[in-house]
């Protein structure tokens, strides 16, 4: 096959357009650096692609999919037909494998902006102690940076993106630069009151949604549909907030439908080009660069490095330590729901609000871990209210009430809006049994070797699920609900690995090149002009959703890279 080589050399080629790639593009172009951005999916046109404000009856299949696959367990729309996820657990022609006896699911979005178009937008700073877990309790590994080093970049990211919140002075949930949050919904006030009785703080959510006009973006209009993509860009997505505006500078060339295959190095070991498949022609192209930033998402990033083999680097690029692919983590997930009688028949109002909870419970036992009986913490997310009805919204009610006729109608109407959901999101400690590697037997439709996953929860995560169950039951009972505690063991109740979609840690940073792939600026120890800007460098996976930290870390790496380029070091 003929390889098409570009004649121009870009200052930086960024692989991947999610939170890390988007922040890179934003910061580098602002500093006058010429960037090429490779995205494995198509370009995004929000006005055409987002389904915000659509009623289910505006499509004849009501959101069940043209072929009704929603009903047969083959639903291609995990987050619903109207979601802006542009991907899923399985992508046609792009498989991954799971080692026997293991389970792992990998959600990929192929579109400009990646998963930031639809993600939850909860934006929590990591705490000071999250960066030094080993020093704290002897488990996991310390990061090569401190909270104080990253804090200025949290400030920058929060100021630019716009995050709601209030200053609370809680150590597990450091305060940031916040915009005014909307008030709690009715059921959220009940949760707050019930939590207070248990001495669990329940504070305004930190959400990447703007409540005042910011950088030319209009304030939120409270339609509750962040997950469908926001046509007014009132929430954060790397596509709308960073990349599309950066394209107006003329300093970024976006190459869509470009699946990175391999990083090409010269005799000195530096990256000189990125080889990618043009998905529209299936031709291999090479784009030349002075530096490369890999930000494909932790697993895709590890895959690209492991597939970049040369005689000098038989174990893959930037992998003399052998840690690339290791220490894969996901967030611990567990959920419980209950119908709350006090909410039955509550006067109707428009409670859409932001597309997610308005209040949440940060981890409250950070100074009493022994008492909690678990080494690490979790936060609690809240769901409920009068959501827009969708296919499936009342399957639970149908199964519960059974029957038919007027009585069924009345039961559903009466129950609507009275169910409260609590979800735990907890820290997983990296372990040696959880990693990804290249499957030597399988390639994708572009001929690129695919990942094989290994994953095991440890006793720490399983114990956490028991703690969540006790706590959630106490809160829901405090609201007058009667949640069902399950007799099943925690192994059956904990989320399936990968399903919280917080996979990270696969190209860890550290001070020692023998035990880490990247230095404290996310620059490869082995390859000076190779940087990583997604969650792959993370040394731990605290109970704080990773996107805000991805943005802050990428911002810091971008400034470092620009400075190193200016000095002529890369």
Partner 1 sequence: MSEFSRRDLLRNIGLSVTLGLTLDAQEAGHVHQMAAAEKQTAGGVYKPKVFNAHEWATLRRLCDLIIPADEHSKGALDAGAPEFIDLLASHNDEISALYTGGLAWLDAAMRKRNDATFVEAKPEQQTALLDLIAYRKNASPDLSAGIKFFEWARKMTADAYYTSKIGIEDLGYMGNKAVAKFEVPAEALEYALKRSGL
Residue 411 lies near partner 1 (rule: CB under 8 A) = no
Q: For partner 1, which is the closer residue by CB, 367 or 402? A: 402
Alpha helices in 271-348 (DSSP H): 298-307
CA atoms within 13 A on the CB side of 99: 15
What span, in angstroms and rounded, lies between the C-alpha atoms of 357 and 122?
9
Q: For the chain, how long is the longest CA-to-CA vector?
A: 77
Range in contact with partner 1 (rule: CB under 8 A) among 156-164, 263-271, 276-284, 400-408 = 400-408
Residue 416 lies near partner 1 (rule: CB under 8 A) = yes
Residue choice 72, 432, 442, 496 for contact with partner 1 (CB under 8 A): 72
Binding residues among 308-367 for partner 1 as defined by CB under 8 A: 340-343, 345-354
CA 125 to chain centre: 14
DSSP states along 196-254? HHTT---EE--BSB-SS-BTTBPPP--BS-GGG--TT--B--IIIIIIHHHHTTT-EEE
Q: For partner 1, which is the closer residue by CB, 332 or 479? A: 479
Q: For partner 1, which is the closer residue by CB, 88 or 417? A: 417
Residue choice 100, 101, 250, 405 for contact with partner 1 (CB under 8 A): 405
Residue choice 79, 394, 446, 560 for contact with partner 1 (CB under 8 A): 394
Least Å from the CB of residue 398 to partner 1: 5
Burial of 1 from C-beta contacts in 10 A (0-12 / 13-18 / 19+): exposed
Residue 399 lies near partner 1 (rule: CB under 8 A) = yes
Residues 6+ away with beta carbon under 8 Å from 105: 89, 496, 497, 498, 499
Residue 224 lies near partner 1 (rule: CB under 8 A) = yes
Measure the CA angle with vertex 351, ends 546 and 53; round to 5°. 75
Range in contact with partner 1 (rule: CB under 8 A) among 8-16, 50-58, 466-474, 522-530 = 50-58
Binding residues with partner 1: total (CB under 8 A): 83
Binding residues among 235-254 for partner 1 as defined by CB under 8 A: none
Contact between 18 and 117 (Cβ < 8 Å): no
Residue 68 lies near partner 1 (rule: CB under 8 A) = yes
Nearest Cα residue to 448 out of 262, 186, 244: 262
Which residue is associated with the tokens 């995560």? 461
Residue 79 lies near partner 1 (rule: CB under 8 A) = no
Least Å from the CB of residue 76 to partner 1: 13
Range in contact with partner 1 (rule: CB under 8 A) among 19-27, 266-274, 401-409, 542-550 = 401-409
Residue choice 105, 121, 185, 556 for contact with partner 1 (CB under 8 A): 185
Least Å from the CB of residue 477 to partner 1: 12
Binding residues among 469-528 for partner 1 as defined by CB under 8 A: 478-480
Instruction: Map residue 256 onto helix, strand or coil.
Output: coil
């Amino acid at each position: 096959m003929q390889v098409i080589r570009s004649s121009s050399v870009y200052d930086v080629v960024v692989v991947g357009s999610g939170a890390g790639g988007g922040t890179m593009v934003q910061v580098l172009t602002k500093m006058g650096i010429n960037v090429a951005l490779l995205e494995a999916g198509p370009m995004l046109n929000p006005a055409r692609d987002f389904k915000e404000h659509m009623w289910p009856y505006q499509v004849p299949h009501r959101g069940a999919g043209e072929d009704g696959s929603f009903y047969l367990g083959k639903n291609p729309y995990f987050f619903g037909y109207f979601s802006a996820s542009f991907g899923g657990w399985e992508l046609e022609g792009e498989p991954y494998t799971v080692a026997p006896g293991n389970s792992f699911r990998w959600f990929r979005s192929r579109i400009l902006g990646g998963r930031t178009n639809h993600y939850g937008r909860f934006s929590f700073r990591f705490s000071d102690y999250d960066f030094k877990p080993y020093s704290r309790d002897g488990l996991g590994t310390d990061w090569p940076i401190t909270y104080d080093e990253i804090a200025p970049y949290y400030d920058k990211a929060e100021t630019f993106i716009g995050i709601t919140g209030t200053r609370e002075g809680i150590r597990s949930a450091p305060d940031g630069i916040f915009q005014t949050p909307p008030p709690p919904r009715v059921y959220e006030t009940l949760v707050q009151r019930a939590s207070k009785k248990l001495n669990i703080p329940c504070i305004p959510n930190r959400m990447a949604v703007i409540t005042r006009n910011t950088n030319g973006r209009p304030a939120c209009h409270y339609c509750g549909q962040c997950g469908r993509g926001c046509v007014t860009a009132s929430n954060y997505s790397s596509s709308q907030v960073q990349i599309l505006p950066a394209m107006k500078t003329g300093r970024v060339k976006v190459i869509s439908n470009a699946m990175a295959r391999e990083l090409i190095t010269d005799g000195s070991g530096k990256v000189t080009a990125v080889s990618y498949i043009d998905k529209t022609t299936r031709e291999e192209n090479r784009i030349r660069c002075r530096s490369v930033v890999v930000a494909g998402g932790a697993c895709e990033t590890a895959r690209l490095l492991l597939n970049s083999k040369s005689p000098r680097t038989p174990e893959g690029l930037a992998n003399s330590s052998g840690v690339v692919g290791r220490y894969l983590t996901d967030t611990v997930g567990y959920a419980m729901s209950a119908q709350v009688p006090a909410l039955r028949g509550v006067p109707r109002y428009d409670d859409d609000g932001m597309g997610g909870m308005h209040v949440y419970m940060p981890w409250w036992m950070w100074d009493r871990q022994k008492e909690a009986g678990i080494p690490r913490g979790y936060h609690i997310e809240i769901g409920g209210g009068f959501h827009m009805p969708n296919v499936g919204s009342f399957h639970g009610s149908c199964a519960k009430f059974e029957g038919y006729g007027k009585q069924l109608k009345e039961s559903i109407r009466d129950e609507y809006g009275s169910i409260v959901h609590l979800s735990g999101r907890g820290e997983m400690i990296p372990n040696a049994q959880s990693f990804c590697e290249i499957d030597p037997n399988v390639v994708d439709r572009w001929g690129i070797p695919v990942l094989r996953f290994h994953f095991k929860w440890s006793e720490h995560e399983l114990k956490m699920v028991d703690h969540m169950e006790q706590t959630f039951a106490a809160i829901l009972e405090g609201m007058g609900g009667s949640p069902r505690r399950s007799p099943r063991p925690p192994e059956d109740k904990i989320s399936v690995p990968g399903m919280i979609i917080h996979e990270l840690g696969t190209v860890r940073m550290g001070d020692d090149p023998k035990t880490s792939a990247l230095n404290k600026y996310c620059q490869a120890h082995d390859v000076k002009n190779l940087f990583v800007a997604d969650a792959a460098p993370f040394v731990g996976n605290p109970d704080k959703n990773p996107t805000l930290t991805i943005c802050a870390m990428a911002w810091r790496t971008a400034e470092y890279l620009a400075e190193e380029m200016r000095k002529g070091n890369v």
